[in-house]
Amino acid sequence: MKLLHIDSSVLGPHSVSRQVSAAIVERLRQTTPGLDIVYRDLTATPLSHLSGSLLAAAQGVTPTDPAVQRDVALSQAVLDEFLSADMVVLGAPMYNFTIPSQLKAWIDRILVAGKTFRYSAQGPEGLAGNKRVIVAISRGGFYGPGTQAAALEHLESYLHGVFGFIGVTKLEFISADGVRVGPEHREKALASALQAVTKLEAA
């Protein structure tokens, strides 16, 4: 069984989502003998934004620029890594009400028509439904239903939409909320997220 672990926080060792995603991976490693883990750190090794040349190559135009050729190969590797994973653990902090741009660049590489979704007469159809995806979310404030900021929640709702679009139905979120409200809140949010990790179903 293969697990793809992805982090996208820019805060390194101070990151909450990194601590929670690492705990999720550790829990799954302990409960799944022989788990093959692949790690991608989207801030240590960022993916570039989409370019016209990259999209042209995807349409069959052979790139002559070596930099574009490398980017095309990287795109394929990132997509293959995702497609071959049985489980994906994603560290996703909230920056300016949504995902970090590094994570968006990764999503731009994995939402590929004909690979992870297709359009049919019945509308869009997800092709990547054979995976379990667990997202470790960390937010500075509170965005639950009824809160003042609820309308600004574009992190969990966005990821819900993205993974739903490509057919993932086994989608779980573990959240640490209110980590910027104060140190006490941060500790409480982290402890509660780590507690939720211990309750995760084994693979």
Ligand X SMILES: Cc1cc2nc3c(=O)[nH]c(=O)nc-3n(C[C@H](O)[C@H](O)[C@H](O)COP(=O)(O)O)c2cc1C
Min dist CB 190 to ligand X, Å, is 9
Min dist CB 96 to ligand X, Å, is 5
Question: Distance between the two ends of the chain, CA-based, in angstroms?
Answer: 9
Cβ closest to ligand X, residue 141 vs residue 167: 141
Min dist CB 77 to ligand X, Å, is 25
Cβ closest to ligand X, residue 23 vs residue 179: 179
Q: Decide: helix, strand or coil at residue 119.
A: strand
Residue 173, Cβ neighbours under 10 Å: how many? 16
Cβ closest to ligand X, residue 57 vs residue 174: 174
Q: How far apart are CA 53 and CA 15, in angstroms?
A: 34
Cβ closest to ligand X, residue 96 vs residue 130: 96
Are the C-beta atoms of 93 and 11 separated by less than 8 Å? yes
* Contacts of range 147-150, beta carbons closer than 8 Å, 24 or more positions apart: none
Min dist CB 117 to ligand X, Å, is 28
Q: Which positions lie near ligand X, rule CB under 6 A?
A: 9, 11, 15-18, 93-97, 138-141, 179-180
